[in-house]
A and B are shown apart, each in its own frame.
Chain A
Amino acid sequence: DIQMTQSPSSLSASVGDRVTITCRASQSIRNYLNWYQQKPGKAPKLLIHTASSLQSGVPSRFSGSGSGTDFTLTISSLQPEDFATYYCQQSYSPPWTFGQGTKVEVK
């Protein structure tokens, strides 16, 4: 199985901050990397697929980059509704696997 490792596990930030979350794969996954946002008690929501393609309806302050083994999710200006847990997921080879999550908390 491909292991996905996110960093940091949690971070504290303020509204308006630029936030960056990193995801590393245990082997090259080309650009087969997705990002999800999950709020407490809710299902995950797809934000970005294939590393950098914004899902329809997702605000443009979210962006993704990377290829191979290293990937980044960036929130350009953190909004109150963005405090949540973010997960990466590799879609290169089944079984599909997720990172352990990064919790974005209020500073």
Chain B
Amino acid sequence: QLQLQESGPGLVKPSETLSLTCTVSGGSISSSSDYWGWIRQPPGKGLEWIGSIFYSGNTYYNPSLKSRVTISVDTSKNQFSLKVSSVTAADTAVYYCARGWRSFDPWGQGTLVTVSS
């Protein structure tokens, strides 16, 4: 059974870079020709798609975040990663990783990242 797990710092200072990793277990990130994505949810609010990466490395970003976001994949570690630069309080959210392109399943449990000095 495929499982995803986010990891990374829970607190980031304003103007710095948020970095998260998603580790995939129960299957190979490169064997299923899947897309892998990041979605975030500010506390008490709705869901926002951040971007996705194909196992080969092709990336697709939400234009609203594109200038600050980088998603990469490390097939040797069965992981993919998210970086968001120049963060502000508006980037405080639970960040989820998930498999899929048009629909997302399964999801990781999510990790709360707070932007604060």
Number of interface residues of A (CB under 8 A): 22
How far apart are the CA atoms of A74 and B60 in the complex, in Å?
32
Tally B residues with Cβ within 8 Å of A: 19
Is the CB–CB distance between A96 and B102 below 8 Å? yes
Count CB-based A-B contacts (< 8 Å).
52
Q: Does B33 contact A (CB under 8 A)?
A: no
Cβ-defined partner of B96 (8 Å) among A32, A43, A99: A43
A-B pairs with beta carbons under 8 Å apart, 26 shown: A1-B64, A34-B103, A34-B104, A43-B96, A43-B107, A44-B47, A44-B96, A44-B104, A44-B107, A45-B105, A45-B107, A46-B104, A46-B105, A49-B103, A87-B47, A89-B47, A91-B101, A91-B102, A94-B62, A95-B49, A96-B102, A97-B49, A98-B46, A98-B48, A98-B49, A100-B46
3 pairs of A and B residues whose beta carbons are closest in the complex: A91-B102, A43-B107, A46-B105
Binding site for A on B (CB under 8 A): 46-49, 60, 62-64, 96, 98, 101-105, 107-110
